[in-house]
Amino acid sequence: MNKYIGILTSGGDTPGLNAAIRAIGKAAIREYGMTVIGFRDGFRGLMENRTMPLDRKSLSGILTIGGTILGTSRHKPHKMPVGGKIMDMTDVIVENYHNRHLDCLVCLGGGGTMKNAWHLAKHGLNVITLPKTIDNDVAGTEITFGFDTALGIAVDAIDRLHSTAHSHHRIIVVEIMGHRAGWLALGAGVAGGADVILIPEIPYDVNIVAESILDRSRKGSPFSIVAVAEGAISREAMDRITELKKKAEKTDDKEEREKLRQEMKEIDKNSTGKTLELAKQLEEMTKLESRVTILGHLQRGGTPSAADRLLATRLGTACADYIKQGKFGVMVAARDNETVPVPLEEVVGKRKMVPSDHPWIRSARLVGTCLGD
């Protein structure tokens, strides 16, 4: 019996999304005779029942195109903006799923998408997810598609900044995306030869950073490249968060515990994304002129790399296989050059952070890179 498959992309756009859509669709149609449709603009389009056919013609020629032909949004099934209000539209989505006679909904996205897909799975929908994000922070998979492309863009930027930093004897502080994980900044910093790399997993001391830059200057290197993850946090702020966390764990007063948690969130919010402030601090402490480059969404755009196309194609074709086999409620993960179905409950609510003993960190230290600690 012919199976009907729905596909949506949710969250931030990422290079490789179209490659994954193409792989799922072509394998499903060609190998298994399935019918495939796409929902526009993520879960929003599923709620509003806005679709487009994903047939041989629409899937042709999209492998190398960045972004997503389906469009995307960050709207959640149970927290959907409707008519100026935030509403739970889960029942409407479930109804649309059944009215479309779908056998499976494939959701391409990061951590938030995993949560939303799991939410729908608990309401009886057959779902499968694919891990995409430039942040590479989805638990359960070794790598996410989009990461390699973004890494290449960040490395290229650092390469270009080296020449201007050297010419003007400046500190160049470059902010790299990655949300609350340091994979992108660490990888780009090591590959680009950054002199300082600051990531969320290693709270930094600005005095140590300044001293490492001054030490380079004293040894005849009058410029420095500082690669900063957008989620990097100072040791001072982290110490305060740790202190508040311990207090919250010890108190039995629910109101006091919530107050402490809110204070932790506020400190965390106000302590990240401080690249401009950090550059100013370093300029004052070292007396060296500083300049800031924030790469921002530049890292999301453009043609996906060969590695991301390969990964997206592998995951996409494996997804079609799992649909045929009836394996639902899973994320298609990349492990040891294989694809494996990982239960969504093992993925949801978790974030893959850079471990302190990761080889990239060890290599950075061995070549003399300052990590702020």
Give pLDDT tens digits for 216-244: 988 888 889 999 999 998 888 888 888 88
Taking the C-alpha atoms of residue 191 and residue 158, their distance in angstroms, rounded to an integer, is: 9
Domain ranges within the chain, ordered by starting residue: 4-145+304-335, 150-299+355-366
252 included as an active-site residue:
no
Q: Do domains 4-145+304-335 and 150-299+355-366 have the same CATH topology?
A: yes
Q: Closest by alpha carbon to 124, among 100, 93, 79?
A: 93
Assigned CATH class of 150-299+355-366: alpha beta
Q: Summarize the confidence of residues 18-23 as an average pLDDT.
A: 97
- The pLDDT of residue 256: 83
Q: Summarize the confidence of residues 36-43 as an average pLDDT.
A: 96
Q: Summarize the confidence of residues 287-304 as an average pLDDT.
A: 89
Compare 318 and 178 and report the one with higher pLDDT: 318
DSSP element (H, E) containing 36 = strand 35-39
Taking the C-alpha atoms of residue 278 and residue 206, their distance in angstroms, rounded to an integer, is: 8
Which of 13, 41, 103, 135 does the annotation list as catalytic? 135
Instruction: Provide the whole-model pTM.
Output: 0.92
- The pLDDT of residue 32: 93
- The pLDDT of residue 223: 86
CB 5, CB 36: distance < 8 Å: yes
Whole-number percent of the chain with pLDDT over 70:
100
Position 1 pLDDT exceeds 70: no
Neighbours of 149 (CB within 10 A): 25
Helix locations, 51-178, DSSP H: 56-59, 90-99, 111-121, 147-168
Q: Which CATH architecture has domain 4-145+304-335?
A: 3-Layer(aba) Sandwich (3.40)
Residue 277 neighbours by CB under 8 Å, 6+ apart: none
User: What rounded mean pLDDT belongs to the chain?
Assistant: 92
Dihedral over alpha carbons 357, 358, 364, 367 (to 10 degrees): 70
How does 112-137 read in b/e, with b if 16+ C-beta sit within 10 Å?
ebbbbbbbbbeeebbbbbbbbbbbbb
- The pLDDT of residue 262: 85
